[in-house]
Amino acid sequence: MPEKGSEETSNLKDTSVVKEEIDRFSALAEQWWDPKGPMAPLHAMNPVRTEWVKKNFISKKNIASELPTLLDIGCGAGLASESFARLGFETLGVDASEEAIKAAQAHLKSSPLPSSAAPLSYMAGQAEHLVEDKRNFDVVCALEIIEHVRDPQEFLKLLAQLTKPGGQVVISTLSRTVRSFLVAKLGAEYLLRLLPIGTHDWKKFIKPAELDQMSRQVGLQLTHINGLSYRPPHWRVSHDLSINYIALFKRN
C-alpha cells in the first residue's frame, strides 16, 4: 500500500490542481509576506481586491449566518484571507500547498488579528476535498488562481458547489489580450521582474466573455465586473478589462 503522501500526489492529475504550479508557489512560501519580495504585486493589489468584495457583498440580512462565511480558495500564505477576516467575514483559507499554509499559520501566530476581526482558519487541501465534505459558504473567492488550474470549467463547477444558494463567487484573473501579454507577461516577468519568470502562462488567461459563458453553464450569474488597473504605485478599480479584472457571480 502506498504512503498517504505518494497516493495524494498520484491523484493530483485527476483534480483541478497542477502539481508544477503548486511546486512553484510552494518554493515562494517563506517570501510570501515580504512586501518587497516576489509577491509584491499581490501586496499592492490586495486592498483593492478585498475592499471590492466587501463593497459588492450582499446584505447580511439576506444570509442565514450571523457572520458571513467566506472561502478563500488558493489562498497562498493568507494575504487576502487576513484582510477578509478584518473586514468581518468568517474566513477559511485553503491552499494545495502545505508550505504556503504553514506560512499563513505562522504569520497569523506572529501577528494576531485584532479582536474586532472575524474568525480565521486555514487548511491544506483542494476544492474537491471541501465538496466531498459537503462544505458551503456565503462567499467563495478564487483570486488569481483560475489561470493556474488544470480545467477552468471544472474548477468553476467546484466553486458553485461550494457556494450556498443565493451566495456569491468572486473571481479575479487576467484577460487573454495583446495588452496582457505585453504588460502582465513580458513586462512584469521579463522586463521589470515584478514576478518570477514562469509565473503565468498567457494561453491560460481567460477573457471576461469566456468566464461569463463558463460560469453560466454551472449556474452562476454575473452581477458585477471591473478592471483592476495599475497606476504606479497604486492599483485602482477601473472599467478597463483588458489586463486584470475581478468579477462577482451569484449562485442560482
pLDDT tens digits, 42-75 = 999 999 999 999 999 975 444 445 799 999 999 9
pLDDT band at 15 (very low <50, low <70, confident <90, very high): low
Sign, CA dihedral 29-35-38-44, equals: positive
Give me the residue spans of the domains in the chain: 4-161+174-251
- Binding site, annotated residues: 49, 74, 95, 143
Alpha helices in the chain (DSSP H): 4-11, 19-26, 40-56, 79-86, 98-110, 127-132, 152-161, 178-180, 208-216
Question: pTM value?
Answer: 0.89
Rounded distance between C-alpha atoms, residue 2 and residue 229, angstroms:
48
Rounded distance between C-alpha atoms, residue 130 and residue 126, angstroms:
7
In the prediction, which pLDDT does 61 show?
Answer: 44
Whether the CB-CB separation of 104 and 28 falls below 8 Å is answered with no
pLDDT tens digits, 110-157 = 999 999 999 999 999 999 999 999 999 999 999 999 999 999 999 999
Alpha helices in 29-110 (DSSP H): 40-56, 79-86, 98-110
- Binding site, annotated residues for S-adenosyl-L-methionine: 49, 74, 95, 143
Whether the CB-CB separation of 142 and 170 falls below 8 Å is answered with yes
The CB density around residue 217, as the number of other CB atoms within 10 Å, is 11
- Please provide the CATH number assigned to the domain covering 4-161+174-251: 3.40.50.150
Name every residue whose Cβ is closer than 8 Å to that of residue 153 and which is 6 or more positions away in sequence: 214, 217, 218
Residue 193 region, left (φ>0) first, then alpha (ψ -120 to 50), else beta?
Answer: left
pLDDT band at 231 (very low <50, low <70, confident <90, very high): confident
How many whole angstroms from its chain centre is CA 214? 17
